[in-house]
Amino acid sequence: MKIKHFCIIIYFAFVGVHSQVSRKDWKEGNLTWSDFQEREIAFEHSISELKYTIGYTTEKQKRKDTVILRLQSFCYIDPQISWVHPDFKTEENLEYNQVIFDIAELYRRKLQYELDRLGSYYSAETVFQNIYQNLNDEVAMFQKQSDYGRDYAVILQWKPNIEDRLDIYNNNKLPEYEKANFGIGFNVGALYSFRTGEVEEHFGNSISFLFGFDLAFKNSILNINTALSGGRVENEYLGNTYWEQKERFTLALIDISYGYAIIDNSKLKLAPFAGFAITEFSQNDDDDDDDDDIIITDFNFLFGLSADFKFRTYINTVPNLFLGRKEISFSAIRAKLFVSKNDFYEDLNGYSVNLSIGYSWFGNMLKPD
């Protein structure tokens, strides 16, 4: 069994190496006769044949801290099935095949141009089929006019023409995109709250789990965040409600605020914000009677500063299946510092200074610039 498994591994390794060898991309350089197999018998017209392929695939491209998802075109020939009659391994015939390879690369570049500007994912295959048909038609025209490589004067006429057209489509860069006005995001992390006054005396400080959403229009941001934590009463409270020392409680915080991004570049997003906070302490009773649970709630203001330290940009230039739109998103470490007022009762108030850190994601649709 071990020998059989070893043989299978060797076989697939050989197939993998063989498949890599039997492909030559256009960007690897001009053709040589080593890219062809010799064949003694030629057909009626052909004294050689170049087996070319163009197509496209979805590809992830990494550029520093940016990941780009793109429909990437390709152009290559297969040396294993490309052939030449040994009596016609001349420089003229090699130039003839090079012109065919250049025509294939020209249409590969046209394909890339169209793929980068698709309005719908479902139109990609139609675009490819049309361009592939045009490629085959132009190759057939060149073959016929050059008598399949026998008329060198025609080859010399076609060669500079194809080279000039290649220069026209030489720019393989992505088109310029503009972010849409609307954006959406979320964040998750931990929140540490330093309290002052009587609230700190009885309930102390806390560490909370934080989760929230962002809705943005241009530089304006609507923040909606929730935080949840628990703890024990540090000192007995005998005011409007009664809280025993060491009694367990749950703390819930909901804040809704408006922010404005004063800095927003590829590395940093800085936004001061202000809004309202709902702070609630609730008693954790062991019995199942919720009517007897003590709950105190405060509605008050908050203000602070949010900083997103961006570490990854993700650009999806492939139109999504439903809306046909392209997207850009950012992953960041978010740090927030904000102050909120706590005013439960006259003898139970103070301030809460809050510091959070966590992960945030924010995305926009893209539109052509």
pLDDT digits (tens, 9 = 90+) for 125-184: 999 999 999 999 999 999 999 999 999 999 999 999 999 999 999 877 888 888 899 999
Contact 312, 329 (CB under 8 A): no
Strands 52-63, 66-77: pairing is antiparallel
What percent of the chain has pLDDT above 90? 72
Tokens matching residue 34: 């080593």
pLDDT band for position 63 (cuts 50, 70, 90): confident
Contacts of 155 (CB under 8 A, 6+ apart): 92, 95, 96, 99, 146, 149
Element (H, E) at 110: helix 91-115
Q: Summarize pLDDT for 6-61 with one digit per residue, the tens.
A: 444 444 444 444 444 589 999 999 999 999 999 987 666 788 999 999 999 999 99
- In the predicted model, is pLDDT for residue 194 greater than 60? yes
Strands 295-316, 268-283: pairing is antiparallel
d(C-alpha 134, C-alpha 140), whole Å = 10
Pick 288 or 139 by higher pLDDT. Answer: 139
Looking at the chain, the domain(s) classified CATH 2.40.160.20 span 177-368
Q: Which fold has domain 177-368?
A: Porin (2.40.160)
- In the predicted model, is pLDDT for residue 245 greater than 50? yes
Least confident of 265-269, 286-290, 292-296: 286-290
d(C-alpha 308, C-alpha 329), whole Å = 13
Least confident of 49-53, 81-85, 291-295, 345-349: 291-295
Query: Following DSSP, what letter does each residue of 200-263 receive, concatenated?
Result: HHHH--EEEEEEEEEEEETTEEEEEEEEEEEEE-SS-B-SSS-B-TT-EEEEEEEEEEEEE-SE
What percent of the chain has pLDDT above 70? 91
Per-residue confidence (pLDDT) for residue 15, from 0 to 100: 43
Q: In one letter, which amino acid is 127?
A: V
Per-residue confidence (pLDDT) for residue 221, from 0 to 100: 97
**pLDDT averaged over the chain?**
90
Total-model pTM: 0.77
Strands 83-84, 52-63: pairing is unpaired
d(C-alpha 134, C-alpha 139), whole Å = 9
> What pairs with residue 221 in β-bridges?
216, 259
Least confident of 152-156, 237-241, 298-302, 318-322: 318-322
